[in-house]
Amino acid sequence: METCLHAAFVSQLEPKNVKEALTDNCWIEAMQDELSQFQKLLVWDLVDLPKGFQPIGTKWVFKCKTDDRHVVVKNKARLAVQGFYQQEGLDYTEVYAPVARIESAFLYGKVHEEVYVTQPPGFDDPHNINKVYKLDKALYGLHQALRAWKARGDILLVQVYVDDIIFGSTNEGMCREFEQVMKSKFEMSNMGEFSFFLALQVSQREDGISLHQPKYVQDILSKYKMNDSSTYGTPIPVNHGLYPDKDGKDVDSRLYRGMIGSLMYLTASRPDIMFAVCLCLSFQSQPKESHMIAVKRIFRYLKGKP
């Protein structure tokens, strides 16, 4: 019942473009919320474009945010600066990184030079149609790593990703204090105990904390069409016999790297596949058919043990 009621207030589908989004009240509200935050945080000012400057285009990015039950809980619209064309899996998904990385890419930092952007698509000011926005704070492009603070022997850890924040401390009082400080500076809400983040599901019990990624496993099995494959009891045979295999048959290197990149992110919660994945990773420059068979075996192992 709760899920049905919630679904009435959020859209279940991500629009393909702003024209499509403007036909749905849920996405219109999400875009207005984003622009309201810009106004509250003094991100920009509407001005005439100075001579000699070229404004940068803007675009909307739409995302349905889900919880650990795969239920859409929020429609998020982000306004980003238009950049160069990127190819998924090669440019902005770090499939070659030797470790899993979780970084932010949309923070409000201070702009130290004059930057002008066009008015948001669908939200042009009809009385100032030729004006542009001068940025006082950055819209897109900053990367922020994990931060930690220590005080009186206790520690507070804060992880920021886009517009989500995870924080924890050895002192519950520090958590409450940090929450109040953030709420006084930004319009934010507390979603409760950490349970789902970037395809990581978290179970917190008295005897410890466990990380697992069953939804992510199902996603990558579907992506690489391995849902109907047979299963294996181990990710790699004891005597694997894998070597550069220079005389072997070539395979699609882009597909191979994409599969390896997907598995690398999974190693954040699956040490059982770490050795097999890192071994296959070493052949990504010139992957052969024998290496692809080894990678697919890892997927088949995951199908049996998601």
- Same domain, yes or no, for 263 and 186? no
User: Tens digits of per-residue pLDDT, 184-227?
Assistant: 877 778 888 888 877 788 888 889 888 889 889 999 999 999 99
The amino acid at 11: S
| pLDDT score of 28 | 94
The whole-angstrom separation of Cα 76 and Cα 173 is 31
182 and 278 share one domain: no
Q: Give residue 145's pLDDT band: very low, low, confident or very high (50, 70, 90).
A: low
pLDDT band for position 91 (cuts 50, 70, 90): very low
User: CA nearest 61: which of 43, 82, 77?
Assistant: 77
Same domain, 13 and 124: yes
Rounded CA separation 262/250 (Å):
21
Q: Is residue 194 part of a domain?
A: yes
Whether 186 is covered by a domain: the verdict is yes
Query: Are 28 and 125 within one domain?
Result: yes
Residue 24 falls within a domain, yes or no? yes
Domain identity same for 178 and 124? no
- Whether 140 is covered by a domain: the verdict is no
Q: Is residue 95 part of a domain?
A: no
In 3-state terms the chain splits into helix, strand, coil percentages (rounded to 5) of 30, 20, 50
Question: Do the beta carbons of residue 11 and residue 27 sit within 8 Å?
Answer: yes
Mean pLDDT in residue range 42-49:
91
| Sign, Cα dihedral of 117, 118, 120, 123 | positive
Question: 2-11, 32-41, 54-63 — which is least confidently predicted?
Answer: 2-11
| Dihedral angle of Cα 151, 156, 157, 159, to the nearest 10 degrees | -110
Predicted confidence (pLDDT) at residue 97 exceeds the cutoff of 50: no
Same domain? 81 vs 192: no
- Asked if residue 185 is part of any domain, the answer here is yes
**245 or 136, which is more confident?**
245
The answer to the question of residue 161 being in a domain is yes
Average of per-residue pLDDT across 231-260: 93
Mean pLDDT for the chain? 82
Alpha-carbon gap, residue 182 to 187, rounded angstroms: 8
Query: Do 52 and 79 belong to one domain?
Result: yes
Alpha-carbon torsion, ordered 26, 130, 36, 178, to 10 deg: 130
Residue 204 lies in a domain: no
Residue 98 has pLDDT above 70, yes or no: no
Number of domains in the chain: 3
Model pTM?
Answer: 0.54
Mean pLDDT of 89-110: 38
**What residue numbers bound the domain in which 164 lies?**
147-198
Question: How big is the CA angle at 198 (ends 178 and 137), to the nearest 5 degrees?
Answer: 55
Residues 120 and 77 placed together within one structural domain of the fold:
yes
